[in-house]
Amino acid sequence: MLTSCTNAIVLTVNGDDHMLVVEPNDLLINVLRNDLGLTGAKYGCGTGQCGACTVLIDGQPTLSCITLAVACDGKKVTTIEGITGPDGGLHPIQEEFLNENAVQCGFCTPGMILMAGDLLQRNPHPTEDEIRHHIKGNICRCTGYNGIVRAIQNAAQRMAAGEKPLEALGTTVREVVKR
């Protein structure tokens, strides 16, 4: 009965629709990085413990290293490449990460920024404690947490003062055939 070895799926990634053929055990992180060339999400531990692979699935932060690509069929995936500011440049959160020198090697940064966006969308005025709790699953090996927290605090202020939060991107159709 169940004989198919591959699965055709459609992923909407940063607004573009991609038709992909994946193996049932392909992980989302590998499909994003290897098949779509989106290397923003990083492969850290591969076991859900570091947050380097964070992406948004239907707006929800998700660990792409422990997510099957087939399970995302029909869903909207947003990676750090899909995060931009109102004019297409940097988003206020990204600018504040630069201003506060909250980036050293940058491995944790995509996950940190996506988590910051998720937090500020639901809680525009987080306390320092709430910020630290929200990035509990995102490890920065360069111990940049203080700068990261300050960057999120600054971004919160700017966004509360009227700059826009992360929002859904427009959809265009593009086909990518794998293998």
Partner 1 sequence: MSLQSYVRPRGLDDALAALADPRTRPLIIAGGTDVIPAMRKMRLGEPQAAGDDDDRPGVVVDLSQLDELRGIGEKDGMLLIGAATTMGAIARHELVKDRAPALAAAAASVGSPLVRNRATVGGNLATASPSADTAPALLAANAVLGLASARQGRREVSITDFFVGYRRTLLQPGEIVAYILLPLSRGLVRGRFEKVGLRNADAISMVCVAVEMELDGRVCREARIGLGAVAAVPVRAFAVEAALKDREIDEAVARECAKLVHEHISPIDDLRASARYRSWVAEAVVARMIIDMACKARS
Interaction of residue 83 with partner 1, rule CB under 8 A: no
Q: Is 27 within 8 Å of 66 (Cβ atoms)?
A: yes
Identify the CA nearest to 166 among candidates 50, 47, 77, 82.
82
Q: Name the β-bridge partners of 16.
A: 13, 172
Interaction of residue 116 with partner 1, rule CB under 8 A: no
Interaction of residue 73 with partner 1, rule CB under 8 A: yes
Q: Is 70 within 8 Å of 1 (Cβ atoms)?
A: no
Q: Name the β-bridge partners of 117.
A: none
Matching residue, tokens 């504040």: 96
Whole-number minimum distance, CB 61 to partner 1, in Å? 6
Interaction of residue 51 with partner 1, rule CB under 8 A: yes
Return the range that interacts with ligand FAD (CB under 6 A); candidates 4-12, 23-31, 44-52, 104-112: 44-52
The site partner of 107 among ligand FES, partner 1, ligand FAD, none (C-beta below 5 to 8 Å per kind) is ligand FES
Whole-number minimum distance, CB 7 to ligand FAD, in Å? 18
Whole-number minimum distance, CB 24 to partner 1, in Å? 4
Distance CA 91, CA 96 (A): 9
Matching residue, tokens 């996950």: 111
Q: Catalog residues that contact ligand FAD under the rule CB under 6 A.
A: 47-49
